[in-house]
Amino acid sequence: MIVKEEFLSRLRKIFDLNLYEVKVWTALLSRGTSTAGELSSISDVPRSRTYDILESLEKKGFIVMKLGKPIKFVALKPEEVIERVKKNLIVAANEKSKRLERLKGDDVLEELNGIFTDGIKFVEPTDLSGALKGRQNIYNHLDMLVREAQNTITLVTTADGLSRKLEVLLPSLEKAKKRGVTIRIAAPITEENKQVAKDFMKVAKVKDTEGLKARFMVIDSEQLMFMLLNDEEVHPAYDVGVWLNTEFFAQALESLFEIAWNNFKAIK
């Protein structure tokens, strides 16, 4: 059986499998049912590893072991595999989420916070900076900054960015508003995102930048997060953000924003 390396690579990424697992799975798909020995020969996977691989694939929901001697393995329809893998991922994610939620009242969290608090004493504020790769990582960090905000939040984004941030940031922005945080959002307002802007207006002052393209957030005139690339031209996985804890730069940018804010168009 010959399967192109490019296709195997795609399967590995999609289903989160290693190379041996992908080779054995596709070999079994090509036969329907087969023994471990046959699959080892077809897939070019060492026989000593084949049983472990088949056991792993069975646990993950890709195949079924057939009773009898010799032991054979049965391939499932790819559509069924997708459904099983999806369900397994949801179950695993829920279990991990519950386990992490229980940590909130656990002494493990207290100890971790103690380690962090002791360590942060020796860190200069300007050293608290870094680069974040991937849009989801960027959004996670933005959400953290919003949750930590005490006084002000200034958010400037693109037309598409405004729509994406509704689901990501709105819950934390609502809580920030209840804490008394002043929130301002500026973005190009279009027919497509006008309703999104109105949803944001429940928690923030929102204005139309009329086509200006910028992506940054300033928190409490101290912390700054800005994105380096045009979101219309970069794949989400390759988006890049820079986080800085710099009162000097944050206040300077916010002063410039203040001038621009007065010229931005109010939303009707």
Per-domain residue ranges of the chain: 5-87, 127-266
Domains 5-87 and 127-266 share a fold: no
Please give the residue that has the higher pLDDT: either 122 or 230.
230
Task: Tell whether the model's pLDDT for residue 101 goes beyond 60.
Answer: yes
Range scoring the smallest mean pLDDT among 12-21, 59-68, 253-262 = 59-68
Say what the pLDDT of residue 122 is.
Answer: 56
Highest mean pLDDT among 39-53, 73-87, 168-182, 242-256: 168-182
Task: Tell whether the model's pLDDT for residue 34 goes beyond 60.
Answer: yes
For 5-87, CATH number out of 3.10.20.30, 3.40.190.10, 3.30.390.10, 1.10.10.10 equals 1.10.10.10
Say what the pLDDT of residue 54 is.
Answer: 92
139 neighbors 168 (Cβ within 8 angstroms):
yes
Task: Tell whether the model's pLDDT for residue 119 goes beyond 80.
Answer: no
| Fold observed for domain 127-266 | Endonuclease; Chain A (3.30.870)
Percent of residues, the chain, with pLDDT higher than 70: 94
Cβ-defined contacts of 81-88 (< 8 Å, 24+):
85/15, 85/60, 85/61, 87/61, 88/60, 88/61
Task: Tell whether the model's pLDDT for residue 1 goes beyond 60.
Answer: no
Task: Give the span between the Cα atoms of 38 and 23, in whole angstroms.
Answer: 13
Percent of residues, the chain, with pLDDT higher than 90: 50
pTM for this model (two decimals): 0.62
- Tell me the per-residue pLDDT of 54-91, one tens digit each, with 9 for 90 and over: 999 998 889 888 877 888 889 888 888 898 888 888 88
Say what the pLDDT of residue 140 is.
Answer: 93
Please give the residue that has the higher pLDDT: either 105 or 214.
214
Please give the residue that has the higher pLDDT: either 89 or 161.
161
Say what the pLDDT of residue 248 is.
Answer: 86
- Structure confidence at residue 200 as a pLDDT band (50, 70, 90): very high
- Structure confidence at residue 114 as a pLDDT band (50, 70, 90): confident
Please give the residue that has the higher pLDDT: either 5 or 120.
5
